[in-house]
Amino acid sequence: MGILTPNGYGLSEFEDALRNSISGIRFIEKLKELNFACHVGGIPVNFKERAKEYFTNEALLAMNEAMIYAGIASIDAWKDAGYEIPGENSEVNWDTGAIIGAGLGGMDTIGELVVPKVTAGKVRRMGSTIVEQTMASSVSAKVGGLLALGNQLSSNSSACNTGTEAIIDAYYRIKHGYAKQMLAGGVEGSSEFTWGGFDAMKVLNSTSNDAPEKASRPMSASSGGFIPGSGGGVMFLESLESAQKRGARIYAEIIGGSLNCGGQRMGGSMTAPNPTSVQRCIQSTVKMANIQPTEIDYINGHLTGTMADPKEVNNWSKALGLSGSQLPYINSTKSLIGHCLGAAGSIEAIGTVIQMTKGFMHKSINCEDLHEEIKPFESKVVRETINKEINIAAKASFGFGDVNGCMIFKKWKN
């Protein structure tokens, strides 16, 4: 697995940040200057410096922020899986591919280069690197070349479900025998052109600009919107047969994954989930995993810090048929890193697997004042980091377009 998030670069830093409730939300001067209502957000620290350790100057001339995140997370995941980075003239790896998506992708390139230059009638002045940075597949295309991938190479996009969807699609591809190994995940840049639309929708919390670490408040009665985050998370998925054959270290097994859409009916809309579809998605994942709901030890929620949080917790409860204290433990990684949009699902899935591997559940911060409708589940909301074995964990993401994704991980025991 490879990861960079607002509160940690790499697996061990991220684990440390989760365990010790280290928030990655900071004041961002530029947002204030540009008259955003929300002045705080999450950006991986020093990512531009970090990028120089991974890529040549020549490569960086044509890589925007999201592409850098995809490249770093993929290279780290690749090495973590036990492989060397192939040379420029290496053979193509026909059995390995990548599905790496983004919610909005190269908005920095579009906002800083394409729109100003084209509008000024200076198309020619854009140079040669625009298409490869703005095509929807920019974040996977670069990775294919870095790692000589020869199987499916594409980018998915399903808003805030993107990272989760990528993992599920890659899981299906391996399960169906079309690939042996897949890199999978999501990335998102931190451009003001990406975040501006959300600020204009008034879905970002603008009431905590003077206290950034308190701003992301999933499950809280005083949550006033989500906090934008950025970064990338990429998982290396492999068939069990292939992983065992080469003696690879296995973190966890994916035992179920489902994707659906609520049709923007029955309470669902472009921006709100149809509760029935959320429940169906969770239920079909549990069914695929061939487990009982009571076997789930832990839920890593989508839980963004909006008014959708109480609905989500109740959807989990209804879908699993477990009420009150029967609900599995639940927390929100977004409380520490904000909502990383297209990267959220994969970053949080990696967080889930880290907690599973290391036997703890991280504190969901800023929900001291639990929302009234979540109070029945109070004993299962993780409000202090606890050491606890996790054998089975569920992770879900929900996105604009009324789309849902849910996956279930099982701890690997040799």
Partner 1 sequence: MNEKEIFDKVVKILEPYVRNQDALKSIKNETNIVTDLQVNSSRLVDIILAMEDEFDIEIADEEADSVESVGAAVSLIKSKQ
Q: Is 340 a catalytic residue?
A: no
- Residue 254 and residue 393: Cα distance in Å, rounded? 10
Which of the following is catalytic: 38, 281, 339, 371? 339
- Residue 408 and residue 393: Cα distance in Å, rounded? 6
Residue 387 touches partner 1, criterion: CB under 8 A: no
Are 413 and 271 within 8 A, CB to CB?
A: no
Residue 129 touches partner 1, criterion: CB under 8 A: yes
Beta pairing partners, 257: 407
Of the ranges 104-112, 119-127, 226-234, 259-267, which one interacts with partner 1 (CB under 8 A)?
A: 119-127
Q: Give the one residue of 52, 85, 90, 127 binding partner 1; rule: CB under 8 A.
A: 127
Give all strands (DSSP E) within 137-269, no chain letters: 153-154, 181-188, 231-238, 252-261
Proportion of the chain in helix, strand, coil states, percent, rounded to 5: 40, 20, 40
Report how far Cα 135 is from the mean position of its chain's Cα atoms: 20
Taking the least distance from each CB to partner 1, the nearer of 128 and 414 is: 128
Are 272 and 310 within 8 A, CB to CB?
A: no
The minimum distance between CB 109 and partner 1, in angstroms, equals 14
Backbone angles phi, psi at 127, to 5 degrees: 80, -165
Q: Is 160 a catalytic residue?
A: yes
Taking the least distance from each CB to partner 1, the nearer of 57 and 414 is: 57
Pairing label, strands 392-399, 298-300: parallel
* Cβ-proximal residues to 19 (8 Å cutoff; 6+ apart), any chain: 358, 360, 362, 385
Sites for partner 1 among residues 49-108 (CB under 8 A) = 56-58, 61
- Residue 343 and residue 386: Cα distance in Å, rounded? 26
Compute how many other C-beta atoms are within 10 angstroms of the C-beta atom of residue 88: 6
Taking the least distance from each CB to partner 1, the nearer of 37 and 59 is: 59
Taking the least distance from each CB to partner 1, the nearer of 58 and 372 is: 58
Of the ranges 126-134, 316-324, 359-367, 399-407, which one interacts with partner 1 (CB under 8 A)?
A: 126-134
Count of residues making up the chain:
414
Taking the least distance from each CB to partner 1, the nearer of 61 and 240 is: 61
Which of the following is catalytic: 261, 281, 302, 340? 302
The minimum distance between CB 196 and partner 1, in angstroms, equals 28
Are 274 and 266 within 8 A, CB to CB?
A: yes
Residue 134 touches partner 1, criterion: CB under 8 A: no
The minimum distance between CB 85 and partner 1, in angstroms, equals 16
Taking the least distance from each CB to partner 1, the nearer of 131 and 240 is: 131
Of the ranges 125-133, 139-147, 202-210, 369-377, which one interacts with partner 1 (CB under 8 A)?
A: 125-133
Which of the following is catalytic: 160, 281, 340, 367? 160
157 is written with which tokens? Answer: 């996009």
Q: Give the one residue of 46, 89, 119, 128 binding partner 1; rule: CB under 8 A.
A: 128
Q: Annotated active-site positions, please?
A: 160, 302, 339
Q: Which residues bind partner 1 (CB under 8 A)?
A: 56-58, 61, 124-125, 127-129
